[in-house]
Amino acid sequence: MLGAIAGDIVGSRFEGRDPPKRDFALFHPQCRFTDDSVCTLAVADALMGDRDFAGSLRAFTQLHPDRGYGGMFLAWAFTDDAPAYGSWGNGAPMRVAAVGWLARDEIEARDLAAAQASVTHNHPAAIAGAQAVALAILLARSGVPRAELRQRMITDFGYDLAPERALVGGGFDVSAAGTVPPALTAAFETDSWEAAVRTAVCLGGDTDTLACIAGSVAEAIHGLPADIAAAVPSYLTPDLRDVVTRFTAAVGS
C-alpha cells in the first residue's frame, strides 16, 4: 500500500501541468500528499478496524480537507447522511490498494473493493476499476506471473492494455475507465516501481492518481525500494503516519 502513497506524493507536483522529462526528481520540496493518500489510508484504517468505509472516509477527509478532492466527494464527505452519488471517477480505484493486501482470496478482494467504492462511486465503471486494481495487487503478491495477470485484467474487465494505446497520455481524464488501463499498463510494461511511476507521471493529466494506482500495482509486482518507502513518512502528518505504521506491521507492505 505504501507504493500507492509514494506514487501520489511523487505525482502530486505535476497534476494538470505539462508532463515532465522522464528523469525528473522523484521527491522534491513541492511534493505533498493529496486526496489519493488520505482516502487510501482511510480505507486501510477501516479494513484494519472493522470500521465502515463511509465513516472512515468522512473522518479522514474532514481532518485533511485541502488535499485536492473532487467537489462532489467533498460535499459528500461533509454531509453525514449523504448517499452515494453515482460517480464513475477514478476515486474508487485510487483508494483501494489496502484491499489487495488484506483480502484473502479473489472473492473477498472483489467484494471489499466494491464495498469501499460503492459508498460514493456506485457507477459500474468505478466499481470495476476498483475491483481490477485490488485483484491485480492480490494476484501479483500471490505470485501470478505478469503476463497471466495482464491477461486476467483484459479478460475480466475488458480493458485495452496495449501500450501503444494505453500509454499515449494527453488530456486530463478523471474517469476510472480512462485511468485504470494506463496505470495498470505502466506497472505491467516496466521492470521496477520507479519505472512504473515515471511512466505514469509522464502521461500527464491526473498525475497523482495515475502514479498512485500504478505505484500500488507496481509495488505488488516489482516491490517497493527501501529508499522510496523510507522517504514517504516525512511527507505525512502524524495521524496518517500512524495508519502506515499499523498497516505495515499487519501486512508487511
Query: In the complex, which residues of this chain contact Mg ion (CB under 5 A)?
Result: 34-36, 68, 208
Nearest approach, Cβ of residue 1 and Mg ion (Å): 16
Beta carbon of residue 205, minimum distance to Mg ion (angstroms, whole number): 12
Using CB positions, name the residue nearest to Mg ion. 34
Q: Which is nearer to Mg ion, 90 or 185 (CB)?
A: 90
- Smallest distance from the beta carbon of 68 to Mg ion, in angstroms? 4
Amino acid, res. 168: V
DSSP string, 96-132: -HHHHHH-SSHHHHHHHHHHHHHTT--SHHHHHHHHH
List Cβ neighbours of 21 (8 Å cut-off, separation of 6 or more).
202
- Nearest Cα to 213, choosing from 137, 149, 157, 112? 137
Question: Which one, 36 or 219, has the nearer CB to Mg ion?
Answer: 36
- Give 194 or 208: the residue with its C-beta nearer to Mg ion: 208
In the bound complex, what is the minimum distance in angstroms from residue 16's beta carbon to Mg ion?
10
Closest to Mg ion by CB, 74 or 251: 74
Name the grid cell of 31: 511534493
State how far Cα 215 lies from the chain centre.
7
Residue 212 CB, shortest distance to Mg ion, in Å, is: 7
The nearer residue to Mg ion, 35 or 219, going by C-beta atoms, is 35
Cβ pair 184, 132 in contact under 8 A: yes
Instruction: Tell me how far apart the alpha carbons of residues 180 and 96 are, in angstroms, rounded to a whole number.
Output: 12
Would you tell me how many other CB atoms lie within 10 Å of the CB of residue 170? 9
